Amino acid sequence: MDMEQTNYIVKGVGGFYYVKTADGVLECRAKGIFRKKKITPVAGDRVRVETEGGSPVVAEILPRKNVFVRPPIANVDNFFIVVSTVEPVPSTLVTDKLSAIAVDKDAQPVIVITKNDLHSGDEFAALYAQSGIPVIRVNAATGEGLDEIRARLAGSLSVFSGNSGVGKSTLLSALSPDLNLETGEISRKLGRGRHTTRDVTLFEVCGGLVADTPGFASLDMASAGVIDKENLQFAFPEIARYFGQCRFTGCSHIAETGCAVKAALERGEIGRSRYESYTALYNEAKEWKQWER
């Protein structure tokens, strides 16, 4: 996102949208056409602002790269999945589901491993060696890994997801020491008493935008939308590489003979835990009826 050229929604709450423009932050209502079309502007939306009745209004939402439901945010570039080596120990299935949702929505998943000083993150990192998903080991005290994250933040809109206790707040504070002050100030300036725990606020960090999603330990996976079982293979980069190479068209990579994915698994070109997550998510997707999506 080109923050110099684009008006974007910093926060939306109570029917008001706070739009960052070249002239500062404007408090806007949305034109009625959005309600008729059942479209809700969300944080991260790039918008066109007009004046209506002497007040600024959101007149148009520019094309979205993606949109998440919970937390409500659009145009996400980086999806950082923060896991800790201990307390709590990481779940490969949860991590893999989050990364699959990110890939499915055209956002870049990045796994960030914290608490490496308490226990080595090498074993968990090794699970993703063939995945093509970047893994960054961080230590907020020594600064290890922080520059790599800062480089990814620059010029991008990023979300940090992770269970309570993994060290997200410590990590964000290390990346931007003024962050807590800044988020509090933004909430006071923009919220005007309408702030709730489900609001998303965007703030500038390291030359990019980071979403503050209070009240969410991690992405609400049930609301993120189930990935169709036919599309799930494309949400696992190391499995997607073998698309079209199986004996049967429409191979699920579960029980068919002549499956290129299963052959690659046996050769060690696909991590076993990643494949197990794929099969678990495939079986879960099979159970969803179309009307439940």
Query: Is the pTM above the cut of 0.85?
Result: yes
Question: Which tens digit of pLDDT belongs to each residue from 86-141?
Answer: 988 889 999 999 999 999 999 999 999 999 988 999 999 999 999 999 999 999 88
Tell me the CATH number at 18. 2.40.50.140
Over 60: is that where the pLDDT of 196 sits? no
What is the total residue count of the chain?
A: 293
Query: 48-57, 217-226, 245-254: which has the minimum mean pLDDT?
Result: 217-226
- Regarding whether 262 and 168 lie in a shared domain, the answer is no
- Domains contained in the chain, number: 3
Per-chain mean pLDDT for the chain: 87
The pLDDT of residue 140 is 82
Tell me the CATH number at 273. 1.10.40.50
**Local confidence band at 290 (pLDDT 50, 70, 90 cut-offs):** low
Residue 218 lies in a domain: no
**Domain region containing 176:** 68-212
Residue 96 lies in a domain: yes
- Regarding whether 201 and 100 lie in a shared domain, the answer is yes
Over 70: is that where the pLDDT of 218 sits? no
Cβ partners under 8 Å of residue 253, min gap 6 = 233, 239, 246, 259, 261, 262, 278, 282
- Regarding whether 244 and 121 lie in a shared domain, the answer is no
Query: 44, 63, 82: which is the final residue of a domain?
Result: 63
- Regarding whether 183 and 110 lie in a shared domain, the answer is yes
Residue 170 lies in a domain: yes
- Regarding whether 29 and 126 lie in a shared domain, the answer is no
Q: What is the CA radius of gyration of the chain?
A: 21
Using alpha carbons, list the distances in angstroms from residue 152 to 110, 159, 183, 268: 9, 12, 21, 30
Question: Which tens digit of pLDDT belongs to each residue from 8-41?
Answer: 999 998 899 999 999 899 999 999 889 889 899 9
Over 80: is that where the pLDDT of 236 sits? yes
- Regarding whether 240 and 162 lie in a shared domain, the answer is no
Tell me the CATH number at 189. 3.40.50.300
Over 90: is that where the pLDDT of 64 sits? yes
Q: Which two tokens stand for residue 182?
A: 């800044």
The pLDDT of residue 177 is 81
Over 60: is that where the pLDDT of 77 sits? yes
Share of the chain above pLDDT 70, in %: 85
Q: Is the dihedral of CA 232, 237, 239, 243 positive or negative?
A: positive
- Regarding whether 192 and 157 lie in a shared domain, the answer is yes
Residue 151 lies in a domain: yes
- Regarding whether 14 and 101 lie in a shared domain, the answer is no
Query: 19, 47, 63: which is the final residue of a domain?
Result: 63
- Regarding whether 187 and 268 lie in a shared domain, the answer is no
Over 80: is that where the pLDDT of 198 sits? no
Residue 2 lies in a domain: no
- Residue scoring higher pLDDT (228 or 133): 133
Residue 283 lies in a domain: yes
- Regarding whether 48 and 72 lie in a shared domain, the answer is no
Residue 260 lies in a domain: yes
Query: 183, 212, 241: which is the final residue of a domain?
Result: 212
- Regarding whether 182 and 76 lie in a shared domain, the answer is yes
- Regarding whether 207 and 236 lie in a shared domain, the answer is no
Residue 225 lies in a domain: no
